Structure 1
Amino acid sequence: MEWIPAFSGHENGVDVYKEKNVKTAYWFGTDQLGRDLWTRTWHGTQISLIIALIATLADVLIGVVYGGISGYFGGMTDNVMQRIIEIIAGIPNLVWIILLILIMQPGLLAITVAILATSWLSMARIVRGEMLKLKNQEFVLASRTLGASDRRIIFRHLIPNSIGMIIINTMFSVPSAIFFEAFLSFIGLGIRSPQSSLGSLINDGYQMLQIHPYQTLYPGIIISLLLICFNIMGDGLRDAFDPKLRR
């Protein structure tokens, strides 16, 4: 019975947290299981940013190259490549993730594959439109007359002159991927406990909304700040790298 203060010899009991050097102050508080929301929020932000980075790399590596080839060569090549995009875009993102969950376990890998499958489509269309607009300009015709190869024209002249639109779309793809991950985790198709993401944290906080609304407030603020920051970054990078604005 030594654990009972009246029989333990300690008048005020023993503070086990103090003896074990366990902190009792948490910046964001704790959830219903006593877990530190500060740590879980920033861990979830890290996962969301990793997914956003993968989506951005897919935009740049797949979308820019695919759209550049389609728009520059045109003709039958363009028709075939655009039909492929239409087939992929005709399947909603939610259907993609459900199909992937049937194959693999819900989690980071399933969300990543789903984003890789569809995130580059809008970038490919934008780059294709820029290629169609620029490929008959005088500087392109001059390069072709001087014997420049198609690859050099695409990557040396056309894509740099489209960098503004590419950067803007890339910056928009980052918050789009973050919200897509948050939505899937919120409805239970994405990251699940004990792992944390911004979407799963909002879902956990939603269950305690009437009692502890702060559990939903903090992840929501982080998502809003990410959206604002990436939009501002996109505008700044567009002004800095677009050759048309430097003239």
Structure 2
Amino acid sequence: MKRDLLYVIVFIASIWLISACSGGTTKNAPENESAHKLMSEKELSQMAEEIDNLFNAPESYNEGVKSYQEAGAYGFVNENGDVVIPAKYESVGCFNEGLASVTLNGKMGYINHSGELVIPAIYDFTNFFSQGVAYACKDGKFGYINKKGETVIDFIYDNATDFWELDGFAAVKLNGKEGLIDIRGNIVMPISFEHASSTMDGVATIFDGNKEISVYNDKSYKITTY
């Protein structure tokens, strides 16, 4: 999998998923253009196709398996081409940290490599696991779960991103503003900025007006004014 591309697509797509999780359409998406430029329906459709192609890319193996499609459903095969998990899901994500997201009856959950549904399909949206947690959307709100399916950060946010790195921070959105939290749910930078992004290469970045704030893993930061 082209992981760098995945980072970009998932983050941009998560903006779109706010409206999807709240039962709206792209026309009713939150209008917070100072933080994110809204995309047209055509652009959203193209983005959705790119995500589907990436998550269900037939040439991409992850943890020894890749997805395959049969009769409009998805499953997994191993590197020998043997079916290890039959095609019975509406969509599947890639395996990461031993689990893969799947869609059943319009809801998402997680299976293990044995094909067992270990986290029930009760979510509007789920992402793959990173650092032992995954963000998910339920009843229009985002939060984080662990690999037991337990809620570790409450479902209170309007949007969320991944914890890409150990001891790094994730960006969350609430009431049109963004900030940073740690993996325990503690607020590291107030949720009061125009835009924030998760820690990558040891640095999370916040943009606010003419300021760029670089936030390091030790919670120190540097402000650059343009």
- Indicate whether the TM-score tops 0.5: no
Please give the TM-score of this superposition, normalised by the length of structure 1: 0.22
Q: Relative CO higher for 1 or 2, CA cutoff 8 Å, sep ≥ 6? A: 1
Please give the TM-score of this superposition, normalised by the length of structure 2: 0.23
Larger helix percent: 1
Larger strand percent: 2
Larger radius of gyration: 1
